[in-house]
Chain A
Amino acid sequence: MKVLVPIKRVIDYNVKVRVKADSSNVDLTNVKMSINPFCEIAVEEAVRLKEAGTATEVIAVSIGDKKCQEQLRTALALGADRAIQIDTEENLDSLNVAKLLQKVVEEEQPQLVILGKQSIDSDNNQTGQMLAALTGLPQGTFASEVKVEGDKVNVTREIDGGLQTVALNLPAIVTTDLRLNEPRYAKLPDIMKAKRKPLDVKSAADFGIDLSPRANLLKVTPPAERQAGIVVETVDELVEKLKNEAKVIS
């Protein structure tokens, strides 16, 4: 069984985000970039399926300029077998990303596509579901457990108030939540080996899809700052303040 793992290059989760002075967007110049953490979990899950003998091949795909090859190499070092870069200079919205991925799914015919549930830059939480709709496949979003059994996959999902398990006919789309697994660190020999694994480059323009944007980003501003309050010395003082000053308890 083939597993396709779409991944995204995003700002490293440890970097403090700064908004540009002209409010046009977030400033990403000379900022450390990494593989989106949820995408890393997706790669790990696919590699574990291969190690368990369930998957036969893991293909990583990323959409972006040449720089996203770095993140594809990371995926290869983690255990993916080959990679595809869909080259574009544009910052595409989720629907257009999903349309490109739909073409890759048609070409590669994977039994399972595993994606991160959201990227930590645009925080949209859309691409996996949109890909599922466009391909007509069932989806298991926010997965904390993935079990392939015959021609079905059972996905346990993180929902409000607990967990839900759904059974999906294969092929299917899965998006990862935090607790699905803890990604490994790539070892040096694996990083070296990853450099020799195949990485195909395709041009987004060659797919014949209208990739024009569906929204205008009018402005980006920093969030409202919350003012720090006071430090109280005792629990008595805290209870008194909450009762009489803030009036939030009685």
Chain B
Amino acid sequence: MSILVYAEHDNNTLKAETLKTVAAAQAMGGDIHILVAGHNCQAVADAAAKVNGVSQVLVADNAAYEHQLAENVSLLVTELAGDYEHIVATALTTGKNFMPRVAALLDVAQVSDIIGVESADTFVRPIYAGNAIATVQSLDSKKVITVRATGFDAVATDGSAEIVALDKATDAGTSSHVSDELTVSERPDLGAASVVISGGRGMQNGDNFKMLEGIADKLGAAIGASRAAVDAGFVPNDMQVGQTGKIVAPDLYIAVGISGAIQHLAGMKDSKVIVAINKDPEAPIFQVADYGIVADLFDTLPELESKL
């Protein structure tokens, strides 16, 4: 039995979440191969070769995969799928985008966003925005699975897998990349940060999010936001923490002016320590917070920054 894990990367860096996806694959049981599909992505292949528990790194380095367009990548993975019983990707934007295409091309269902592995065919996943946890048994001979990385602990990186170059160039020719507009930030990625500070509707406007920056700098934190803050237009959607945004589980999560809608809690309640700053003592966020301060955030934030 073999498992193919799709590496999440940007042609330069292997995303830390892939290490957690490999941990999920190990729980399924089988020989693990990693697929790196990209262009000029040798650095990613080298990093993938060091991931523990991986026996082979397959590298499809071709212009057709430069932007990992779903149309092209899904054809590649489908071609390779014959050798594998499990095809596994991280539930980040790339995996979420192409994996259901692979499943449909293979005529199998997909089990999305798993947070636990019970056996080779039985998986645990949140439904209803995390308000219920389902245990599902896949009946298909091939399992196509996306993994919610926060559900697993990363494997170590002192391995040495064999790197095998693939000569593939599956280009569907129906789509093309136009441009990327990426948020440039010195701060860590939301998904990988050990500390996250997020603002909600209580921040009142986008400018006030600058008040979080000083604290984020001192703590080496990433800055997030609630859906309410995104909906209100304070900040872009890539900062959204929640069921419909990013799922995070840092060591420390600081929720500022966030009431704690179920939608938001689904994205951060697995954090190790949660701090809530909110002037409403009845806000539901206090029911999940380890430490709460009932106070006006415009007083608390400057004081917190000065005392860190």
State in angstroms the CA–CA spacing of A138 and B286 once bound together.
45
Q: Which residues of B257-294 have CB atoms within 8 Å of chain A's CB atoms? A: 262-263, 269, 272-275, 281, 286-294
Is B167 an interface residue when CB atoms closer than 8 A count as contact? Answer: no
Most buried by B among A128, A233, A235: A235
Q: In the complex the two chains form, what is the Cα distance from A215 to B142 in whole Å?
A: 12
Q: How far is the CB of B127 from chain A (nearest CB, A)?
A: 5
Q: Which of B136, B180, B227 contacts A164 (CB 8 A)?
A: B180
Q: A138-B172, A229-B290, A238-B291 are in contact. Are A248 and B129 (CB under 8 A)?
A: no
Chain B residues within an 8 Å CB radius of A7: none
Task: Please name all residues of chain A whose beta carbon is closer than 8 Å to the beta carbon of B128 when the two chains form the complex.
Answer: 11, 17, 26, 120-121, 123
Interface residue count on the B side (C-beta < 8 Å): 90
B50 at interface by CB-CB < 8 Å: no
Partner of A159, one of B74, B93, B102, B272: B93
- A139 near B291 with CB under 8 A, answer no
Q: Is B244 an interface residue (CB 8 A)?
A: yes
- Interface with A: B32-40, B110-118, B156-164, B199-207, which one? B110-118
**Contact A218–B136 (Cβ < 8 Å):** yes
* Majority secondary structure, B binding face: mixed
Q: Is the CB of A142 within 8 A of B307?
A: no
Asked if B43 is at the interface of the complex by the 8 Å CB criterion, the answer is no
Taking the closest CB of chain A, its distance from the CB of B68, in whole angstroms, is 10
CA distance A214 to B111 in the complex (A): 10
- Interchain CA distance A235-B298 in the complex, whole Å: 13
Cα A234 to Cα B294 with chains together (Å): 9
Closest chain A residue to B17, Cβ basis: A160
Chain B nearest CB from A126 CB (Å) reads 4
Residues of B within 8 Å of A236, CB to CB, are 307
Which B residues are CB-close (under 8 A) to A131?
A: 104
- Do B275 and A238 touch across chains, with their CB atoms under 8 A apart? yes
C-alpha spacing A215/B137, complex, angstroms: 5
Q: Are the CB atoms of B288 and A226 closer together than 8 Å?
A: yes
Whole-angstrom distance between the Cβ of A139 and the nearest chain B Cβ: 6
**A214: contacting residue among B127, B138, B240, CB under 8 A:** B138
How near does chain A come to B58, taking the closest CB pair, in angstroms? 22
Q: Is the pair A230, B134 in contact by a Cβ cutoff of 8 Å?
A: no
A1 CB within 8 Å of chain B: no
In the bound assembly, the distance between CA atoms of A135 and B184 in angstroms comes to 37
Check: B230 CB closer than 8 A to any chain A CB: yes
Nearest residue, chain A, Cβ from B277: A238
- State the CA gap A230–B135 with chains docked (Å): 33
B-facing mask of A125-166, CB < 8 A → 1, else 0? 111111111101111011010000000001001111111111
Closest residue of A by beta carbon distance from B219: A249
User: Which A-chain residue is minimally distant from B99 (CB atoms)?
Assistant: A129
Task: Tell whether A19 pairs with B112 under 8 Å between CB atoms, given A160-B238, A230-B292.
Answer: no
Contact, CB under 8 Å: B286 / A228: yes
* A95: interface (CB < 8 Å): yes
CB within 8 Å for A235 and B304 given contacts A26-B128, A162-B238, A223-B130: yes
Most chain A CB inside 10 Å of its own CB: which residue of B134, B236, B289 = B134
* A177 CA to B232 CA, complexed, in Å: 15
Chain B nearest CB, measured from A168 CB (Å): 5
Interfacial chain A residues near B294, Cβ < 8 Å: 231
B275 proximity list for chain A (CB < 8 A): 238, 242
For A166-192 the 0/1 string (1 means CB < 8 A from B) is: 111100100001110000000000000
Find out whether the CB atom of B139 lies under 8 angstroms from the CB atom of A232.
no
B67 and A164: CB pair below 8 A? yes
Q: Hey, which chain B residues are within 8 Å of A248, CB to CB?
A: 195, 251-252, 272-273
Which residues from chain A contact B272 at a C-beta distance below 8 Å? Answer: 246, 248
Smallest CB-CB separation from B281: which chain A residue?
A231
Contact status A242-B252, CB under 8 Å: yes
Per-position binary interface string of chain A over residues 210-250, scored 1 when its CB falls under 8 Å from any chain B CB and 0 otherwise = 00011111111111001011111111101101100010110
In the complex, the answer to whether B109 meets A121 with C-beta atoms within 8 Å is no
B131 in contact with A17 (CB, 8 Å): yes
Q: B177's closest neighbor in chain A, by CB?
A: A166
Query: Chain A residues near B134 (CB, 8 Å)?
Result: 217, 219-220
Contact B291 A229 (CB under 8 A): yes
A163 to B308, CA, bound (A): 34
A81 to B219, CA, bound (A): 54
Query: Which residues of B approach A to under 8 Å, CB–CB?
Result: 67, 69-71, 74, 92-94, 96-105, 107-113, 122, 126-140, 172, 174-183, 189, 191, 195, 219, 227, 230-231, 236-238, 240, 243-244, 246, 251-252, 262-263, 269, 272-275, 281, 286-294, 300, 303-304, 307-308
Binding site for B on A (CB under 8 A): 11, 13, 16-17, 19, 26, 93-95, 98, 118, 120-134, 136-139, 141-142, 144, 154, 157-169, 172, 177-179, 213-223, 226, 228-236, 238-239, 241-242, 246, 248-249
